[in-house]
Amino acid sequence: SYELTQPPSVSVSPGQTATITCSGDRLGDRYACWYQQRPGQSPVLLIYQDTHRPSGIPERFSGSNSGNTATLTISGTQAMDEAEYYCQAWDSSTEVFGGGTKLTVL
Amino acid sequence: QVTLKESGPALVKPTQTLTLTCAFSGFSLSTPTMRVSWIRQPPGKALEWLARIDWDDDKFYSPSLQTRLTVSKDTSRNHVVLTMTNMDPVDTATYYCARTYNYGSGSYASDYWGQGTLVTVSS
């Protein structure tokens, strides 16, 4: 079965750029999306179709996908961005989540 | 305004069958771009995709759980039902339903989520 791999944790200083990666075999050949989940809350869609932001998502969130890696970039990271982040992609009509990355804003 | 809400038992015994209902509003599951997915999250762990039902009644299941899962829809009542048989303590998790939107060209994403319902499996 298809697998997506994320680093368990990423740390960033306020105002700096955070990069969270998601790796999978030929991931760039399929679309990826990203979710943010704060403690005790439901996930929120941040990025769909590799690079698109839903209405209401701040411009500091951006995405890319090429080769075997999709990347979520948070520019000018804020304390409120401290959360768990999940990537997702589709494989043979089933959906796969990455294992999640805990973003800590130090 | 799109909303989804999960309901079902908070506690089930091992070997029992779990039945969860997702009541939604603000969209129609008879629209070709619409799907409803079920996702679960054990305490402190990652999201795990379980199943999806599409507008045309196509159904898809996690390969590792497909023998235990059934998903169905009642379009007129705006409900989707998930059943999971032979429950085990490892199935203890928060269960979410989510609207999954087809953006075209094989691109999907779950853009609205319910609040989730915690199901504990214990005797």
- List the single residue in A with minimal CA-CA distance to B118: A40
Are residues B111 and A49, on separate chains, in Cβ contact within 8 Å? no
Q: Cβ contact (<8 Å) for B37 and A49?
A: no
Q: Confidence class of residue B6 from pLDDT cuts 50, 70 and 90?
A: very high
Q: What is the pLDDT of residue A92?
A: 76
Share of residues in chain B with pLDDT > 90 (%)? 92
A97 touches chain B (CB under 8 A): yes
For residue B118, pLDDT beyond 80: yes
Q: What does the pLDDT average to over B1-24?
A: 97
Helix (H) or strand (E) holding B60: strand B59-61
Which residues share a beta bridge with B100?
B35, B110
Using alpha carbons, select from B95, B33, B48 the residue that is nearest to residue A88. B48
Chain A residues lying within 8 Å of B59, measured CB to CB: none
Characterize A43-65 residue by residue with b for buried, 16 or more Cβ atoms within 10 angstroms of its Cβ, and e for exposed: bbbbbbbbebbbeebeeebbbeb
Residue A79: partners with Cβ closer than 8 Å, 6 or more residues away? A14, A105
- For A30-78, the pLDDT digits (tens) are 999 999 999 999 999 999 999 999 999 999 999 999 999 999 999 999 9
Nearest residue on chain A to B52, alpha-carbon basis: A94
pLDDT of residue B107: 87
